[in-house]
Amino acid sequence: MVLHLLTQGATLRLRQGRLLLEMEGALLNSYPARQVRQVAVWGNVRLSTPALTFLLRQGIPVLFLSTEGFLYGVAASFPDPHPEHLRAQFAQDPLPLARAFVLGKLRTARAMLERLGLPGLEAVEEALAQAQTASHLDALRGAEGFGSRAYFGGLSQLLRPWGFQGRSRRPPKDLVNAALSYGYALLLGRALLAVRLAGLHPEVGFLHAEGRRNPALALDLMEEFRIPVVDQVVITALRRGQLKPEHGEPRNGGVYLTEEGKRALIPLLEERFHQEATHPLRFRKTYAELLDTQAARLKAAIVKREPYTPYYLK
């Protein structure tokens, strides 16, 4: 069970083996504590010390996110990375792994445009060719950016009725971008957990620029999963009417999901994490398991045990 705590001003407490969500002394919900596997705290929701201590002692990670969909960080009991693995991560040539992340993302973008019958395929193919031959990181990042713009340009043909004209963030300019940003924040939290549990340093990335308190490696890993996990869910939810125009509200110069919109989107994302997919190496796992598997395989590649094959849709 994954708990998403959305009620602003509420407090999560531990009492007699249950986690209780309360607001000013009134009980909002009650959960069996030992069935909880992860907690996502959205905005101003408090955890009592006994509740947080219980979660940490049980190895249950707690994600802290803003109401707009920004990941602040993760609280959990992680094992310390092995020194040899850290040395290998710092010594790794970034280009081969960065190329794998980009190729995985662009191959999935190509597959998605093909499935939906949207324009932009030729540009994505061109970006793939550029990525395969890029001789340095700046060229690779340029190919990724070119392919991403082509992909979102194609999506705009489908999503224009919801105001989507391309990717925008900080702030998102329409309902589609608001939902994408919200989903990406949740995905980043999952990727950060996978990287930490694999025993890797989350700030030492290969595609994304490194920086203090910037989880570059988690951002690298999530590139493979943005489209099949988040984009697919958002597109389907819009087309089925599960996400509606009234689920977006103008605020602070942008458009953000309403509380109803968040409550509509989160269960769909959680359902997607538990759907099975086939890896290019022909094994099947849920998307949640694939994130952990790819993090473990990434560590194996870093310490020179085996090559790294990105996940992508065919």
Residues annotated within a binding site for Mn(2+) = 144, 208, 223
Angle between helix axes 287-302 and 259-273 (nearest 10 degrees) is: 60
Four-CA torsion 136, 138, 167, 234, nearest 10 degrees: 30
CB 297 within 8 A of CB 308: yes
In the annotated binding site, the residues are 144, 208, 223
Side chain identity at residue 186, one-letter code: L
Task: Taking the CA atoms of 222, 224, 225 and 230 in sequence, report the sign of the dihedral they define.
Answer: positive
Between the CA of residue 230 and those of 113, 126, 274, 309, what are the distances in Å? Answer: 15, 24, 13, 21
Side chain identity at residue 19, one-letter code: L
Choose among 232, 233, 278: nearest CA to 113.
Answer: 232
Helix, strand, coil shares of the chain as percentages rounded to 5?
50, 15, 30
Beta carbons within 10 angstroms of residue 137's beta carbon: 15
Q: Could you tell me which residues are beta bridge partners of residue 63?
A: 40, 74
Collapsing DSSP to helix, strand or coil, 139 comes out as helix
Beta carbons within 10 angstroms of residue 11's beta carbon: 18
In a 13 Å sphere around the CA of 227, the CA atoms on its Cβ side amount to 26
CB 109 within 8 A of CB 101: no
> Count of H helices and E strands in the chain?
10, 12
